[in-house]
Structure 1
Amino acid sequence: MTTNNKIALVTGGSRGLGKNMALHLAKKGIAVIITYNSNKAAALEVVAAIEASGQKAAALQLNTGDIKSFAAFIAQLKNVLAQTFNATAFDFLINNAGIGMHALIDGTSEEVFDELMNIHFKGVFFLTQQSLPIINNGGRIVNLSSGLARFSMPGFAAYGAMKGAVETLTRYMAKELGSRSIAVNVVAPGAIETDFGGGRVRDNEEMNKMVAGLTALGRAGLPDDIGGVVAFLCSEEGRWINGQRIEVSGGMNL
């Protein structure tokens, strides 16, 4: 495979949407570093799949909700960039890592709220902040939101609110990083068939039918519907898209 010598960092890249993004980025000739929280074996399978396609890859452990661990992670990242990729910086940061949580407002504990906040918002803010010195000028940042920041479904108040915050943050990042020619966008998937949130959309037939009924294209989303959009935003063709929210939901709740 030809390479364009670009490198992407995808958080939460060992499964689901993150894995799909990593594979699509590699197809575009981009080297990929993925992070995983706990499942090292799954992460190494993704690395092996990328390497089998002829592209360089690596995996690093990271809990994106543990903000105090970021300095040590960045130090590790610098080592991997030097040793595996012969580089001192990377080009594309994909803030994808996340957890699913379904609870009504009156059933959401402060502990659960704080965990969601740390992973979905505070972690995105500070991981990006600490990565900025080693992101190349002209690079891209893609943050992940959700259709649930646009439409409301009972049980997702905290999660949807965090994603709404990420969408606002994305516009500020785009404004502040424009002087470095770094474009920043947000991709907002609709309901996707993965193991996210306990696999509710994929494994619960009633839920899957409900999602399909709410979607103009008549089905729930698949990981392959998302990964290529993220890869496109990291391509030359996507260079003039900046500060935008791109919902990839098949037309959910139109």
Structure 2
Amino acid sequence: MHSTPSTPIALVTGASRGLGKNTALALARQGTDVIITYHSQAATAHAVVAEIEALGRRAVALQLDVGTSSSFAAFAERVSDTLHSWGRMHFDALVNNAGTGEHAGLMETTEAQFDAMVAIHLKSVFFLTPKLLPLMVDGGRIVNLSSGLTRFALPGYVAYASMKGAVEVLTRYMAKELGSRGIAVNVVAPGAIATDFGGGAVRDNAQLNAVIAGNTALGRVGEPDDIGGVIASLLSPANGWVNAQRIEASGGMFL
């Protein structure tokens, strides 16, 4: 396993499980070396690294709490050290995936819950990306994660969906401001996915699962495999002219 100047390197936040893990593995399968981050599940993250290495690619797992912006400068230094250890100075693609769910209505959401959503979903993308941009190649690529919940409204996701709506606007501004460096920025908006996200409700609640499947054109809820490939494809050279777009991968929910 070795990284050459022609081997793309991607950084995927929140990739110890779920969509981030699936994205990291999909990128590895298409020949990309991957830096992943994890919040607290070190053993799980290192298992993902082993899976990536088994595919013949380089990988490393770095701890990162995206909700603590004061840690981003030190994190960027660790990314730089990793790149140097691979004989490189820059990486090619950033996937801002890390996040948590919050299920509460407008009247029930506390200020602490709201502030946590701001920090984890909005401030993280807004402030982590600039810290990493000096380490990104000109002509690089960024994918931010949003949600189908910015297009359709389901009670209980008001704070989470509001943050994702902000990320979609931020994505367009990032594309505009980074265009001079040839960096394309897009947002992928998954529909309901059967993971342990948000307590695993979509996966484990049979009634909720059935309702979502019944309101999805393809007749089922999404799986992580439905999303990782979309993100990896968006980062492939063939999609380099796609920029500032919201790409929903929901199987056709609530059409």
> Smaller-chain TM-score range?
over 0.9
Q: TM-score, normalised to structure 1's length? A: 0.98
One-letter amino acid matched to 1:41: A
Counterpart residue number, 1:160: 161
Q: How many residues align?
A: 253
Q: What is aligned with 1:151?
A: 152
Does the aligned pair in 1 maintain the 2:203–2:209 contact within 8 Å? yes
Rounded to whole Å, the distance in 1 between the matches of 2:148 and 2:65 is: 24
Unaligned segments of structure 2, at least 5 residues:
none
Deviation at 1:86, TM superposition (A): 1.3
Whole-angstrom distance in 2 between the partners of 1:16 and 1:86: 30
The aligned amino acid for 1:120 is H
- Among candidates 55, 58, 69, match of residue 67 of structure 1: 69
Secondary structure of 1:243's aligned partner = coil
Specify the alignment match of 1:220 in structure 2.
221
> Secondary structure of the equivalent of 1:107?
coil
TM-superposition CA deviations, 1:219-240 (whole Å, max 9, x none): 0000000001100111111101
Aligned-residue offset at 1:129: 1.1
Displacement, 1:89? 1.2
1:5 lines up with 2:7 in the alignment: yes
Name the counterpart of 1:211: 212
Q: 1:248 to 1:2 in 2, by over 3 A?
A: farther
Other-structure match for 1:116: 117
**Distance in 2 of aligned mates of 1:227 and 1:199:** 18
Q: Indicate the percent of aligned positions where both proteins have the same amino acid.
A: 62
CA–CA distance in 1 between the matches of 2:194 and 2:232? 20
The alpha carbon displacement at 1:92 in A equals 0.3
The answer for unaligned runs of 5 or more in structure 1 is none
Quote the residue 1:247 is aligned against: 248
Give the deviation of 1:81 after TM superposition: 1.1
Match of 2:200 in 1: 199
Shift of 1:214: 1.0
The alpha-carbon deviation at position 171 of structure 1 amounts to: 0.4
Q: Return the alpha-carbon distance in structure 2 between the equivalents of residues 236 and 124 of structure 1.
A: 23
Q: How does 1:43-122 map to 2 (within 5 A)?
A: 43-83=45-85, 85-122=86-123
- Determine the C-alpha separation between the residues in 1 that align with 2:150 and 2:118: 14
Q: Deviations over 1:78-103 (max 9, x none)?
A: 111111x2111111000000001100
Contact 1:12-1:36 within 8 A present in 2 as well: yes
The 8 Å contact of residues 2 and 58 in structure 2, kept in 1 or not, is answered as no
CA contact (8 A) 1:93 1:140 kept: yes
Q: Is contact 2:93-2:142 (8 Å) kept?
A: yes
**Letter of the structure 1 residue corresponding to residue 145 of structure 2:** L
* One-letter amino acid of the structure 2 residue matched with residue 111 of structure 1: A
SS of the residue corresponding to residue 43 of structure 2 reads helix
Cα contact 1:2–1:29 (8 A) shared by 2: no
Q: CA deviation at 1:2?
A: 9.7
CA distance in 2, matches of 1:138, 1:240: 11
Of 21, 29, 37 in structure 2, the residue corresponding to residue 35 of structure 1 is 37
SS in 1 for 2:107: helix
SS at match of 1:12: coil
CA RMSD of aligned residues (A): 1.1
Please, what TM-score do these two structures have when normalized by structure 2?
A: 0.98
Q: Distance in 2 between matches of 1:164 and 1:123?
A: 14
In the alignment, the residues of structure 2 paired with residue 39 and residue 47 of structure 1 have an alpha-carbon distance, to the nearest angstrom, of 13
CA drift of 1:211 comes to 0.6
**Residues of 2 paired with 1:5 and 1:180: CA distance?**
20
Q: Which moved more, 1:70-79 or 1:2-11?
A: 2-11
